[in-house]
Amino acid sequence: MVFILLIFTLMNNLPPLAERMRPKNLDDYAGQKHLVGKGAVLRKAIESGSLPSMLFWGPPGVGKTTLAYIISQTLSRPFFSLSAINSGVKDVREVIEKASLLKEQGEVLPILFIDEIHRFSKSQQDSLLGAVERGIVTLIGATTENPSFEVISALLSRCQVYILQSLDEADLLSLLDKAMQEDPVLKEKKINIVESEALLRLSGGDARKLLNIFELLINAFDTPLIEITNEIVLEHVQQNMALYDKAGEQHYDIISAFIKSMRGSDPNGAVYWLARMIMGGEDPLFIARRMLILASEDIGNANPNALLLAQSCFDAVNVIGMPESQLILSQTAIYLATSAKSNSATTAIGAAMELVRRTGDLPVPLHLRNAPTKLMKNIGYGKEYKYAHSFEGNFVDQDFLPDVIRGTKIYEPGNNAKEYETKEKLKKIWGERYKY
């Protein structure tokens, strides 16, 4: 799709629609009102001019690069930009040297924007530390991955993390409306969006993807009136969608298909989508991390070994690297897909958190409290507690929930052999309290 758009825009000597519609200031910026709306935390920092180094974490197409550039323009700061895909330590040092020269000349502090900073190695990230600490640059890094896993702790501790969210339906429709009214090409056409569901679904909250799809559709018509329906969108777009783009387009669709194949116990689907990601150049640690999550979320105590294997897979991939890691990823994906399934751990913690939200901070029963001081012992802390190991079978019937929710069932064992044993054990020792 991007290739087709490129040919068209070159022929017409125009940048793509997504580039033509890139906002120039915060008031034109779509979405992220929790960060840059009136009175929001990041907007206040920008308006005060006291800007920390920061990391923008969010899915593709939500405006991370655009926001960084708008910040530099708003504050009249020099803007240096690097992409972690094709930049190395040498490039970082060259930018820092330029920034150092500006500081020596008394110029304003430049902004160094690094796209996909999670792809920087530890040594590359280390090369940024000194400049950030000495105030030579204000770093703005963009990442689609959780920075807690992908950014070294020393750099992470020096940056404020801002989470950018996928654009909602209103934001996306507003972008389309603005494009039709203001874009020099589109405003000359009569465009009627009869149905928008397919457009929004295929965009996945990605503004850049939405505008690329929209431009592709418009270019497919040579009639004075263009009517967009769901059927037309699917007919023209799906046949031109990129196969896989780890930096954007189908990144989340492919990983979703991979996870759902394993959850659905289909090893064929799991290995197919795994191959799609591997051949598309996906980060193998990203794949391993998602399998680690699935091992608890969808398998859990139906097969506790699944979590151990997934953890071993993550560790092995981290040590071995590609291409050999594809064998380990395949083995683990097949094991997880063919394993017994249970989401009882997931539903249990969800139910427990909902119970906490509903009942608030209930007091800990006295018999469960520690009594490190004489006063605490005198007022009954720990007095009625029964030490399980002092009783037959290492079990004694006592209450472990706050009084007002005593007897509440939170954990519901899954329908599988392993948890059936657990259910029978709980019924045996607890009687009516754990009768399912």
Q: Is residue 300 part of a domain?
A: yes
The residues facing 54 across adjacent strands are 140, 160
**Within a 10 A sphere around the Cβ of 270, how many other Cβ atoms?**
27
What is the CATH classification number for the domain harbouring 295? 1.20.272.10
Q: What is the number of domains present in the chain?
A: 4
Same domain (yes/no): 278, 321:
yes
pLDDT digits (tens, 9 = 90+) for 233-273: 877 765 544 444 554 446 677 888 899 999 999 999 999 99
Q: Under 8 Å CB-to-CB from 155, ≥6 apart: which residues? A: 125, 126, 128, 129, 132
Q: Could you tell me the residue range of the domain that residue 391 belongs to?
A: 363-434
Token pair, residue 168, equals: 């909602």
Q: Could you tell me if 257 and 306 lie in one domain?
A: yes
Angle between helices 169-182 and 207-219 (to 10 degrees): 50
Query: Which of 240, 271, 292 is the endpoint of a domain?
Result: 240
Domain end position, chosen among 186, 207, 240: 240
In a domain, 344, yes or no: no
pLDDT in the model for residue 243: 43
Q: Are residues 73 and 155 in the same domain?
A: yes
Question: Residues 181-193: pLDDT tens digits?
Answer: 888 888 788 888 8
For the domain that residue 132 is a member of, what is the CATH number? Answer: 3.40.50.300
> Pick from 197, 219, 240: which residue ends a domain?
240
Q: Are residues 177 and 157 in the same domain?
A: no
Asked whether 113 and 149 are in contact (CB, 8 A), the reply is no
Which of 279, 417, 270 has the alpha carbon at shortest distance from 335?
270
Distance, in Å, from the CA atom of 304 to the CA atom of 390, rounded to the nearest integer, reads: 28
Edge to edge, what strands does the sheet with 138-143 contain?
79-83, 111-115, 138-143, 54-57, 160-163
- Check: CB of residue 139 under 8 Å from CB of residue 112: yes
Tens-binned pLDDT, residue by residue, of the chain (436 aa): 444 444 444 445 678 888 888 888 887 788 888 888 888 888 888 888 788 888 998 887 788 888 988 888 888 888 888 887 777 777 888 888 888 888 777 777 888 898 888 878 777 788 788 788 887 888 898 988 888 877 888 888 888 888 888 888 888 888 888 888 888 888 788 888 888 888 887 777 778 888 888 888 888 777 778 888 888 887 776 554 444 455 444 667 788 889 999 999 999 999 999 998 888 778 888 899 999 999 999 999 999 999 999 999 999 998 888 888 899 999 999 999 999 999 999 999 988 988 888 888 888 888 878 777 777 677 677 788 888 888 888 888 888 888 888 888 888 888 888 888 888 888 888 887 777 6
Give per-residue pLDDT as tens, 268-295: 999 999 998 888 778 888 899 999 999 9
